[in-house]
Amino acid sequence: MNTNLPEEEKHLTSIQERFIKLGIEALDDGEVIELLLSVCLPPEQCKGVVTKCTKQFNNLREFLTAPRKKLQELGLTLQCLFNIELMQKIPQKLLKEKMIGRVVSKSPKEIFDYLYSSMRDLKKEVFKVIYLNSRNEIIDTVDLFQGTLESIPIHPREIVESALKYEAGAVIFAHHLPSDDPTPTKSDKELTRDLVFIGNITQIKVLDHIIIGEDKYFSFAAEKLIDKYQNDFLNLRIRGVAKDSQYQNSGWMY
């Protein structure tokens, strides 16, 4: 330990000193893991746990997203797990606060970039709703539904109720897939079509539905499917009006 350090810094570990002097960029993944654990484990215990972790995980991301049980088996205490979760949540909170009130452009990549950091490592499917006002400014982002590895239960009624609660003029849906391929399934397309239809009825515009995979995304708006569903709804409405007219002309009354 450097004895020339100020008194309050003499108790820092060597990895903590390196971080203060050189910054996070100077540390490799193993050293960042050591830095994280150095604030919750005594030095004599920390080195052994770090060795186990670097053997178990290929990189920092694998370490940070590992199951809680696995980390505990490798020697991480509850305090360590708390520190890791807090470190992950703070940037997500700051990013969300930064986006509130921001006008959303028509670029799905902007939404992907906004959501990806908080969704990419999720082990289960999550369905998010971004609520926007009449000026397309973000009001809030909410995890509305969570599911298993294979499926996620989504209830349109709850979506409508939540949108009305936020007094949203428009919404963007996003859901995460633990797999690499974000290509929508038949049920994804049917759900999105139904949500567009409901949006037309409730006057809450559906701007997009973005499916997020591993470093990839699928945008229903970019693929012109939102426009298609809008047109499908209008065609159904026109046919319904025409049918009503036929009934009235033939003497049928409601």
- Contact criterion met (CB below 8 Å) for 117 and 61: no
User: Which residues of the chain are modeled with pLDDT < 70?
Assistant: 1-10, 92, 95-106, 117-123, 148-151, 240-254
Q: According to the model, what pLDDT value does residue 1 have?
A: 46
Task: Express each pLDDT in 159-188 by its tens digit.
Answer: 999 999 999 999 999 988 777 788 998 989
Residue 231 pLDDT: 94
Rounded to whole angstroms, what are the CA distances from 92 to 26, 45, 212? 24, 30, 17
* Cβ proximity of 139 and 100 under 8 Å: yes
Q: Rounded to a whole number, what is the distance in angstroms from the first to the last CA of the chain? A: 89
Neighbouring CB atoms inside 10 A of 88's CB total 14
**Strand spans (E) along 133-230:** 138-146, 170-176, 205-212, 217-219
**Residue position matching structure tokens 């309050």:** 8
Count of residues for the chain? 254
Query: Rounded to an integer, what distance in angstroms lies between the CA atom of residue 77 and that of residue 41?
Result: 8
Q: Are 108 and 210 in contact (CB under 8 A)?
A: yes
Neighbouring-strand partners of residue 209: 173
- φ/ψ (deg, to 5) at 13: -80, 170
Q: What is the pLDDT of residue 220?
A: 96
pTM of the model: 0.64
User: Sheet containing 138-146: which strands, arranged edge to edge?
Assistant: 138-146, 126-132, 170-176, 205-212, 217-219
Q: pLDDT tens for residues 133-162?
A: 988 888 988 888 887 645 677 888 899 999
**Dihedral-angle region of residue 145 (phi above 0 means left; psi in -120 to 50 means alpha; beta otherwise):** beta
Take residue 20 and report the two structure tokens written for it: 């203060």
Pairing status of strand 138-146 against strand 170-176: unpaired
